[in-house]
């Protein structure tokens, strides 16, 4: 959680995180059009920004900081213990996001799990490559903030078009992250 690796990590992985965040924001925006209400400043600040800061910090502390490290220690005798830990913690991360979409269609549920697993693999890779938990926290926050279009809509769920953009993007991100982890292990 210190400064070591933070600047170099931001230079190397921050741009990728920003690009995927923008892709998500555009996908959410397209899927939510037309917007049907004007939120208050308080709603945007509390529901959008403050909430997303807390979520990014708590999820990264528990999933990457605690669970990933715990799994890696349990698998320490295996050659690919880091890869196993990143993937398993990301699956838990993905499944943990199912509760917010349980009342949605099967497409939405499966899509949410798949894209958050891809996101989790990226966060795990960034954490393990930099040894700095602040990086996944910052990138997680930026990605979460890109969901702010939902503050301007009453729509509950995701449009199919949004899923057709977001899911492949996060699958590609997950594959890239696994290749990056494998490259240096």
Confidence of residue 36 (pLDDT cuts 50, 70, 90): low
pLDDT at residue 60 greater than cutoff 70: yes
DSSP label of 131: T
Q: Where are the domains of the chain?
A: 6-183
pTM of the predicted structure, to 2 decimals: 0.88
> From CA 111, how far away is CA 97, in angstroms rounded?
11
> From CA 98, how far away is CA 108, in angstroms rounded?
9
Quick one: tokens of 158? 């995701």
pLDDT at residue 35 greater than cutoff 70: no
pLDDT at 132: 92
Confidence of residue 27 (pLDDT cuts 50, 70, 90): confident
pLDDT over 90, % of the chain: 50
Highest mean pLDDT among 1-15, 24-38, 53-67, 153-167: 53-67
User: Which is higher by pLDDT, 107 or 40?
Assistant: 107
User: Which is higher by pLDDT, 147 or 80?
Assistant: 80
pLDDT at residue 168 greater than cutoff 90: yes
């Amino acid at each position: 959680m210190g400064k070591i690796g933070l600047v170099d990590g931001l230079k190397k992985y921050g741009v990728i995180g920003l690009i995927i965040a923008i892709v998500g924001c555009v996908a959410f925006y397209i899927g939510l059009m037309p917007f049907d209400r004007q939120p208050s400043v308080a709603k945007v600040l509390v529901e959008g920004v403050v909430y997303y800061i807390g979520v990014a910090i708590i999820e990264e502390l528990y999933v990457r900081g605690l669970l990933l490290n715990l799994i890696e220690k349990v698998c320490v005798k295996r050659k690919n213990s880091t890869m196993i830990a990143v993937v398993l913690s990301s699956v838990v991360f993905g499944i943990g996001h199912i509760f917010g979409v349980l009342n949605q269609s099967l497409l939405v549920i499966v899509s949410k799990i798949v894209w958050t697993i891809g996101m989790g693999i990226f966060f795990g890779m960034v954490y393990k490559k930099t040894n700095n938990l602040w990086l996944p926290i910052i990138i997680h926050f930026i990605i979460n903030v890109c969901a702010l279009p939902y503050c301007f809509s009453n729509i509950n769920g995701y449009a199919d078009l949004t899923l057709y953009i977001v899911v492949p993007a996060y699958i590609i991100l997950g594959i890239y992250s696994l290749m990056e982890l494998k490259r240096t292990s």
